Structure 1
Amino acid sequence: MTTRAERTEPAISRPGSLLNKVPEVTSAFWVVKVLCTTVGETFADFLNDGLGLGLTVTSVVMTALLVVALVLQFRTRRYVPWVYWLTVVLISVVGTLLTDTLTDSLGVSLRTSTVVFAAALAVLFGVWYSVERTLTVHDITTRRREGFYWATILVTFALGTAVGDLLGEQLALGYLSSAFVFAGAIALIALARRFFGLGAVVAFWAAYVLTRPLGASLGDLLSQARSDGGLGLGPTATSLVFLVAIAGVVTAMTAAARRETPPGRHA
């Protein structure tokens, strides 16, 4: 939702400051984001149901792995593609599990989850802006801003899962129809950004939230049984296909980042 011209690289002006920790928002960014959200849906199902770990064990294991990934991410001083996108994949899975836990284990309705996560996201944005006076992802150059960023990402994944499940399952819209609805909403945001002056920050975060239920709807469409409205590929095959796709794109990103990194600057 942003252009190269709108991106301003912050300078390192003091000890402890960082190069921007978020990749440039290009078409490749959105492609990998949707792939990650799809894996978040299908891989959670694979661990929970396919391997029979159960929701509690799966949640504990994936949360522990996410903590490790976040430690790696926070220890870098610049954007490192494989670390960043590994963190996104894991936070996508954990966000899915968070919503599933509320729904399946605690009996919280998807409508309630949607409202709660939407309110939590609004509060996060409010606190983030009141402290930093910006919500842009092009200036994640301090640990505090990075903390706000990843907390926000987690809530967007949980919210997107709740919204996707609410439309696709509880309201019986169906996986394919839900995917079209969310893709259409994202297209409208892009049009509003291009032709009607919608702000870059608002456009980015609105699209970021909506790519989660879009990816989840696509994941369910591919993995769920035909009797449930899916294509019957199963969570294992769907997860493998998308993980390979993510690995391929991120490998290309890593190679490009190495070519563009100025001499003497390291993670």
Structure 2
Amino acid sequence: MTETTNSQVGATRRMLSKVPEVTLWFWIIKILCTTVGESFADWINTTLGVGLNLTALLFTVVLAAVLGWQLRLDRYVPFVYWLTVVVVSVTGTLYTDILTDNLSVPLALSTSVFAALLAVVFGIWFVRERTLSIHSIVSTPRELFYWLAVLVTFALGTAAGDWTLTITGWGPGVSVLLPAGLIAAVALGWRLGANAVLAFWLAYILTRPLGANLGDWFASPTADHGLGVGTAATSVIFLVAILATVLYLTRTRRDVISAGQPAAVTPAEPARERLMLGYYGVVAVLAGALLVWASAQPHADTSAGDEESAPATTSLAPQQTTTHFPASEITKFRTITQDTLTKVQAGQQNDAKTRIKDLETAWDQDQDTLQPMDKAAWDVLDSQIDHALKAVRANTPDPVTESQTLTTLLTSLG
């Protein structure tokens, strides 16, 4: 690209750019948005009991409306842009959750598929536009490529983050350290001369598991080494933080390049970029080695669809649940489980799936109250409920397996 072309693109970008300048504020609000994407999706799906499919459909409609608003604008408007990011974050999270929870797609497979899809999006985008830079979003086609890439990065970050937690068994707090460390490594590479576009998109993908893990840390009960804030309060806290940051940026225009201000572009140094590409390769190998080591350590296997992860204690003595947990709550869980078993035995599979959703919702709502009362008993029941959910929701349900898991759960519930 010639110097004249660069100048023309710079002038166009200053007039028509639909995205913010990449500053520290950009990364702060991006992490806040990813945290909301995790906690808000969980709150609507689980706490409100709306369900994954209906929640995903709702947010797909909202995404279409908000993205249409963003595309109609002729300049960067902080409120609309970051509202779009929040909605994309929630929607991308829900798409991955549907694959994992409803369709039983292994996280390793969904991570690979989303990674391949992102490579395809970037490939077509580059072939058509000859750049992947966020500073080049000056036309509708480029903006559409940009938002498609953003959506896929959220889905990929969700799948990769969940997969990492599954194979390592890391809990809230600890799980924040890996994506934070990788982002720091990417930033260091950028400071040392790595390709700016590559560094940007690497960091963009990594902020998704960082924000999700941060949200889990805030929302998880203290018995699980979280902060015990809860999904609803976590969503409110981070939404308020996003709103405050957006208001600040709207007033100060700290992330907007004025018409007369030159683009902040660092001249490329091919030799340095190749060296830093090798550095990123080393970082990736070390991260992979850490995950392999962590997966080999003793931990509870929470992988989706893994029927071998049943706890050593297959059931609880009824008095253990009735002694430590409120009788009214145990009765509620037992009633739902019995209803589900009855429907399974009657061949009413769809009704069984609907009924067991009530069990999942009620159990998740009571987690913060019940888990501190008897963590050992709670862990066993939680695992049994998880196995029952997987059995009933399997793509090809086995009535024998369904009955066994539900009967085991009923025994524990007295």
TM-score (norm 1): 0.89
- Cα deviation for residue 206 of structure 1 reads 0.2
What is the CA–CA distance in structure 2 between the aligned matches of 1:94 and 1:119, rounded to whole Å? Answer: 19
Q: Show the counterpart of 2:45.
A: 48
- Name the amino acid aligned to 1:177: V
1:122 corresponds, among 105, 111, 119, to 119
- Cα deviation for residue 233 of structure 1 reads 1.2
Matches within 5 A, 1:56-95: 56-95=53-92
Please give the root-mean-square deviation of Cα atoms over the aligned residues, in Å: 2.2
Matched, 1:218 2:214: yes
2:130 corresponds, among 130, 133, 144, to 133
- Cα deviation for residue 60 of structure 1 reads 0.9
Structure 1, unaligned runs of 5 or more: 1-5, 263-267
Matched, 1:204 2:223: no
Matches within 5 A, 1:174-185: 174-185=171-182
2:189 corresponds, among 187, 192, 200, to 192
2:176/2:213 contact within 8 Å kept: yes
Q: Show the counterpart of 1:163.
A: 160
Q: Show the counterpart of 1:143.
A: 140
Q: Show the counterpart of 1:23.
A: 20
1:155-190 Cα distance to aligned partner (Å, 9 max, x none): 000000011111224431223222111100010111
Paired residue secondary structure (2:10): coil
- Cα deviation for residue 255 of structure 1 reads 1.2
Closer/same/farther in 2, CA of residues 260 and 161 from structure 1, 3 Å limit: closer
1:8/1:138 contact within 8 Å kept: no
Larger Rg: 2
Closer/same/farther in 2, CA of residues 97 and 170 from structure 1, 3 Å limit: farther
1:169-226 Cα distance to aligned partner (Å, 9 max, x none): 443122322211110001011111112x210000000000000000000001111233
Q: Show the counterpart of 1:236.
A: 232
Paired residue secondary structure (2:67): helix
- Name the amino acid aligned to 2:235: S
Closer/same/farther in 2, CA of residues 221 and 107 from structure 1, 3 Å limit: same
Structure 2, unaligned runs of 5 or more: 1-5, 260-414
TM-score (norm 2): 0.58
- Cα deviation for residue 56 of structure 1 reads 1.0
Q: Show the counterpart of 2:325.
A: none
Matched, 1:11 2:11: yes
